[in-house]
Chain A
Amino acid sequence: MVALSSHLVELLSNVAGDVREVFEAEQWSVAAAVELNAAFTDTNHPRASMTRAIIAREFLASAHRNGLSDHPAQGGAVELYEQNGEGMDMAMIRLRGAKDVDGDLRVLANAGSTWGGLSEDGFWREIPYVFAWYLDEAGALQFVVAESVGKTAGSMPYFEFGWMHRFTSLAPSSTQGFVPDNTDSLGDWDARHQSDASAQA
Chain B
Amino acid sequence: MTDRTTPARVATLGDRIRRLRLALGLTQNELAARGSIAAGTISMIENGLQEPDASALRALAEVLDCTPEYLQAVHAPAFDKPKLRAYADASQRAVDRTLFDSIAAVEAIHTAGLRPLELRLPVYDGDLSDGEGIDRIAADVRTAAGLRSNDVIPNVIRAAERLGCVVLPLDGELGRHWGMSLTVDGLPVIRVTRPSHDPEFDIPGDRQRFTVAHELGHLVLHAHLGQPAAPAEAAAMEREANRFAAAFLVPGDAALNDLRDAGGRVTLGTLGTLKQKWGYSIKAFVFRFKELGVIDDAQARSLYKQISARRWNKDEPFRPGTENAVWFAKALEERFGHPRSAEQLATTAGLGVRYVERWLNWEPSGTEREIALVTALTTRVKKPSPSSETSARISRLPRRAE
Contact = CB atoms under 8 A, between A and B. Distances in A.
Interface in A151-201: 170, 172, 174-182, 184-190, 192-193, 196
6 contacts: A31-B305, A177-B275, A177-B318, A178-B318, A180-B322, A180-B323
A189 B118 contact: yes
Given A21-B265, A181-B155, A184-B158, 12 more contacts: A24-B267, A24-B268, A28-B303, A32-B298, A137-B309, A139-B309, A174-B276, A175-B317, A178-B277, A180-B155, A182-B324, A186-B326
A193 B330 contact: yes
Interface string B248-267: 00000000000000010111
A22 interface: yes
A interface SS class: loop
Contacts of A185: 158
B320 A178 contact: yes
B155 A31 contact: no
Contact of A177 (B159, B268, B310, B319): B319
Contacts of A139: 305-306, 309-310
A27 B295 CA distance: 13
Contacts of B268: 24
A189 B272 CA distance: 36
Interface of B: 115, 117-118, 146, 152, 154-156, 158-159, 161-162, 205-206, 209, 263, 265-269, 272-273, 275-279, 295, 298-303, 305-306, 309-311, 317-324, 326-327, 330, 334
A181 B154 contact: yes
Given A31-B301, A31-B302, A189-B117, A176 B267 contact: no
A130 to B, nearest CB: 25
A45 B328 CA distance: 63
Contact of B279 (A31, A32, A180, A189): A180
Contacts of A24: 265, 267-269, 306
Given A140-B310, A188-B118, A28 B265 contact: no
The 9 closest A-B pairs by CB, nearest first: A28-B302, A178-B279, A181-B154, A178-B320, A24-B267, A184-B155, A139-B309, A25-B265, A32-B298
A175 B318 contact: yes
Interface in A17-31: 21-22, 24-25, 27-29, 31
